[in-house]
Amino acid sequence: MPHKDDLNDGYEYREELGAAAAGCNVVEYLAGRHPSAGRGEWLERIEAGRVLLDGAPAAANAVLRPGQRLSWLRPPWVEPDAPLAYAILHRDEHLLAVAKPTGLPTLPGGGRFMRNTLWALVRRRFPEANPVHRLGRGTSGVLLFARSAEAFARVSQAWRRGEVRKAYRTLVAGEPSADGFDIDVPVGRIPHRALGTVHAATFPGDPSGKAAHSHVAVMERRDGCALVDVRITTGRPHQIRIHLAAAGHPLVGDPLYGVGGVPLPGHGALPGDLGYHLHSLSLELEHPATGERLEVVCAPPPPLRLGGSAAAR
């Protein structure tokens, strides 16, 4: 039995039902929306009173309608291990920039992490801080928090207008033929057997596909791979991983995305699985209070430094 100090506080998952729920019963809807738990497990949760419909314990065969509130109570659990440290790169009364380590999720999610997240760690010391963007679990480097509602609103607006410059570094398979190139492959959702859908490259005309742009610069060519810097003007989920894979150069060690920018067949990997090297090198933006240009830089880990070698990987 795990010690109580190893457990988090549990979580109540909540959603307001949309049109897709109309006519489904409770157990069918939950098993379809959250396929990682089978029908039998959902029946056990419902019978234990941990699934609520409009605030009252739900019946498994209750027919749903749009607008109802569905929630389920997950008891405390032991979270997977994660690196529980970060460094402060910039701090003032409006903004906080920190260096996120590889393996630490930015926010709770995926049904695995609640307490072992960067958001939870930062708020222990800076309870007012809220992230204005997120990095994938496997991505390290600069992550920006706002320390007031006004700063959050101003930076978020600048982000939407494309006024925040973002630079990343990663290691890709193969050697690109050009020293610099652009990728404009739309990113949308495609079916995934464990999650229902997952973000991936989509074909033109796919209604789920959203415009995405990345500029790639080759910094160093190595044996069978290349070190590249990537600037993105959009921020689609997993954009860099998807774009480079779509261009024929998936990230070295990426367990999910293969050539074409879609999940590797037969592997069953999830977006949060680790194995690749991706680092947020810098953020440059107009300070929300002073209007001055602010650049925050985070040195890359050894495998992504210029002059590295296969041994460093």
**CATH code for the domain of 306:** 3.30.2350.10
pTM to 2 decimals?
Answer: 0.81
* Domain stops at, among 74, 99, 124: 74
pLDDT, position 245? 98
pLDDT in tens, 127-181: 999 999 999 999 999 999 999 999 999 999 999 999 999 999 999 999 999 999 9
Torsional class of 307: left (φ above 0), alpha (ψ -120 to 50), beta (otherwise): left
Examine the domain organization and report whether 24 and 150 are in the same domain.
no
- Is the per-residue pLDDT at 122 higher than 80? yes
Angle between helix 39-47 and 26-33 (nearest 10): 130
Examine the domain organization and report whether 184 and 136 are in the same domain.
yes
* Mean predicted confidence (pLDDT) in 24-44: 89
End-to-end CA distance of the chain: 38
- In angstroms, the CA 290 to CA 94 distance is 10
List the helix and strand counts (H, then E) for the chain.
5, 18
- In angstroms, the CA 214 to CA 231 distance is 6
- 14 φ, ψ (degrees, to nearest 5): -130, 145
pLDDT, position 194? 77
| DSSP annotation string for 109-175 | BTTTBSSSSHHHHHHHH-TT-EESS---TTEEEEEEEESSHHHHHHHHHHHHTT-SEEEEEEEEES-
* Mean predicted confidence (pLDDT) in 33-42: 84
Examine the domain organization and report whether 65 and 95 are in the same domain.
no
The CATH number linked to 38 is 3.10.290.10
- Is the per-residue pLDDT at 5 higher than 90? no
- Is the per-residue pLDDT at 282 higher than 80? yes
pLDDT, position 312? 45
For 159, counting Cβ atoms within 10 Å of its Cβ (0-12 exposed, 13-18 middle, 19+ buried), the class is middle
Pairwise pLDDT comparison (33 vs 187), residue with the higher score: 187
In a domain, 82, yes or no: no
- Is the per-residue pLDDT at 311 higher than 60? no
Counting the structural domains of the chain, the total is 2
Examine the domain organization and report whether 131 and 28 are in the same domain.
no
Average pLDDT, the chain: 92
* Mean predicted confidence (pLDDT) in 181-208: 90
pLDDT band at 2 (very low <50, low <70, confident <90, very high): low
In a domain, 80, yes or no: no
- Is the per-residue pLDDT at 126 higher than 90? yes
Examine the domain organization and report whether 93 and 56 are in the same domain.
no
Examine the domain organization and report whether 298 and 240 are in the same domain.
yes
pLDDT band at 24 (very low <50, low <70, confident <90, very high): very high
pLDDT in tens, 44-95: 999 999 999 999 999 999 999 999 999 988 778 788 889 999 999 999 999 9
Helix (H, G, I), strand (E, B) or coil at 249: coil
Examine the domain organization and report whether 172 and 253 are in the same domain.
yes
Q: Which residue range is the domain that position 176 belongs to?
A: 87-312
In a domain, 220, yes or no: yes
pLDDT, position 3? 53
pLDDT in tens, 206-263: 889 999 999 999 999 999 999 999 999 898 999 999 999 999 999 999 999 999 999 9
In contact, 11 and 74? CB cutoff 8 Å: yes
- Is the per-residue pLDDT at 184 higher than 50? yes
